[in-house]
Amino acid sequence: MRWKKTLTLRRSSNADYTLIFDSSSLIVLNELKFLDLFVSRIEKQSSINIIIPTTVLDEISKGGLTINSHSIQIINSYSDDLASIPENLGNGEKGVINISGILEEYYFGHSHNR
């Protein structure tokens, strides 16, 4: 698979982890009334990068869920590469897989072929 190399990652020099969220994770945190607490804790943590693909943002927005945080990065996950990801997955899941592959190449110089 050919990954897009248009990623601009805002990474803290202290960041040890990068978390990419799909729609279900954010919806469950919201249903349990933990989403705001989670986001506020992340904002205080400089060792964690949080990424939400645009495909996930679109899915959760349809349900009325919004996330307001300067610490969370929204990264465009729409690309022609989504067509090569299994059709039985939703767009949010496809976006997470796409961004994960881009990050793998970004950090490690390679990506797995699917």
40-83 residue pLDDT tens: 888 787 778 888 999 999 999 998 898 877 778 888 877 776 67
109: left (phi over 0), alpha (psi -120 to 50) or beta: left
> What pLDDT is recorded for position 60?
92
Q: Can you tell me whether residue 49 is helix, strand or coil? A: strand
Whole-angstrom Cα distance, residue 77 to residue 98?
7
